[in-house]
Amino acid sequence: MSAVARTWTGRSGPTSLLEVRDLEVIFTRRGRRDVRAVDGVSFSVDAGETVGIVGESGSGKSITSLAVMGLLPNRGCDVSGSIRFDGEEIATLGGERLRRLRKRFQMIFQDPYSSLNPRMTVAGIVGAALEIHGIGTRRERRERIAELLQLVGLPTRAAERYPHQFSGGQRQRIGVARALAVDPDLIVADEPVSALDVSIRAQILNLLVRLQDRLDLTYVVVSHDLAAVRRISDTVAVMYLGRIVELAPTVQLFRAALHPYTVALISAVLIPDPALQVGRRRIILTGEIPSPANPPTGCHFHTRCWLYQRLDQPERCRTERPPLADRGGGHAAACHFAEDVDGTPEQRQAMGRGVATAVGQATLAAAEAAAAVATVDLDVGDDGDGDVDDDPPLTTT
């Protein structure tokens, strides 16, 4: 572990709201091999900043977010390392102390259908946190709920309704309102838009950005959607098989990624501009992501790495875990041959001139499309449902 501990792990200073050090999450099941879902992850998040964590499924990004939230099950799951929230160690914190601290960090969930209790009204869902932390009188709480609903762009009369009466996008707004109810400092969003219709995604992302400006929020956003992460993050951590392989300021990452995996990821993002897209070539990674129960030795990525092949399969990649080392400018990459990535045709093709901005524009384009859809919907939207999602309007008469 010392190799990792000594290496650069992000800008950390007195302002860091969240500091994760050498986080390890191991799932143990009797009769089965232990699964090291998170393997020595370190990063820090400054107040007011947004850190995006990207990776494929199985990369450990969601587990990392659950660990930060203290939501991992007690049984069959070993968490080690340090998670400091505003200077307080929360990884080992349990019971009542943790429960009281919870109002300072909240979570937005991926699935707006399963994340809202179907038997509670919106007021009950949003207000539960206020009630449990004894915030305000009944009347003040009701006013606060109305205020929150307005804040996330829902009418106040939504309070008396049940989740099934809303569309996916609206449900996600309810989830956001719930997270905001206790006025948290940190919000962890696990794939906040990936369950939503493409036309709705930009709306929710914009909402998150707007709320951040207005309420001084700090975000950790977990997603497999590079474009979404690019849109809202200041810093991006790329995870692969439980490890952070690259950590860099967003602009930096999309301008010149230094890890072969990141380069491959970026090369796969579609750019809604044929002129730019035509000159690009996707780097196709061979095979599936290996099982976290039996990860490759050395660098986890070497089994699928294009650079490893290019460099004639250097032994170092198979035997030695590459440290997440600073390459200057707050840009860290865990690759023995990060210098060799810089300037390769693959990197140039993936990033290219204008691509860095274009990846962001992919989201913008989606936003415009959403606006168009929204306008259209208003014309036919008198079914009183207001859905712009794919789910059919609910008829209840």
Partner 1 sequence: MSLSEAEARVDTAVATEDVGGSLLKEAWRRLRRDPVAITGGAMVALFVLVAVIGPWIAPYGPSDRAGAVTPTMIPGPSSQFWFGLDDLGRDELSRVILGARQSLLVGVVSLVLGMIGGLTLGVLAGALGGWVDSLIMRIIDIVLAVPGLLFAIGVAATLGRSLQSVMIAIAVVNVPIFARLLRGQMLSQREADYVAAATSVGLRRRVVVFRHILPNSISPVIVQGTLTLATAIIDAAGLAFLGLGGTDPSVPEWGRMLADSQDYLSGAIHLAIFPGLAIVFAALGFTLFGERLREALDPKYRR
Binding site for partner 1 (CB under 8 A): 66, 69-71, 75, 99-100, 102-103, 106-107, 109-111, 114-120, 125, 128-129, 132-133, 153-155, 157-158, 161-162, 164-166, 170, 173, 175, 178, 181-182, 202-203, 206, 210, 367-368, 370-371, 374-375, 377-378, 381, 384-386, 388, 394-397
Closest to partner 1 by CB, 178 vs 304, is 178
Q: How far is the CB of 296 from partner 1 (least distance, A)?
A: 30
Closest to partner 1 by CB, 144 vs 280, is 144
Burial class of residue 314, CB neighbours in 10 A (0-12, 13-18, 19+): middle
Count of positions (residues) in the chain? 397
Phi/psi at 293 (nearest 5 deg)? -75, -20
E strands, 116-185, where? none
Give me the helix-helix angle, 168-180 and 138-151, nearest 10°. 130
What angle (nearest 5°) sits at the alpha carbon of residue 140, between those of residues 135 and 145? 85
Closest to partner 1 by CB, 4 vs 158, is 158
Tell me the C-alpha distance between 249 and 46, whole Å. 13
Cβ partners under 8 Å of residue 223, min gap 6: 52, 53, 54, 191, 192, 193, 194, 229
Closest to partner 1 by CB, 182 vs 289, is 182
Closest to partner 1 by CB, 19 vs 191, is 191
Cβ partners under 8 Å of residue 204, min gap 6: 169, 172, 173, 176, 192, 193, 196
Q: How far is the CB of 64 from partner 1 (least distance, A)?
A: 15
Tell me the C-alpha distance between 227 and 362, whole Å. 7
Tell me the C-alpha distance between 349 and 355, whole Å. 9
Q: How far is the CB of 327 from partner 1 (least distance, A)?
A: 36
Closest to partner 1 by CB, 131 vs 339, is 131
Closest to partner 1 by CB, 37 vs 248, is 37
Question: Is 84 strand, coil or helix?
Answer: strand
The amino acid sitting at 135 is I
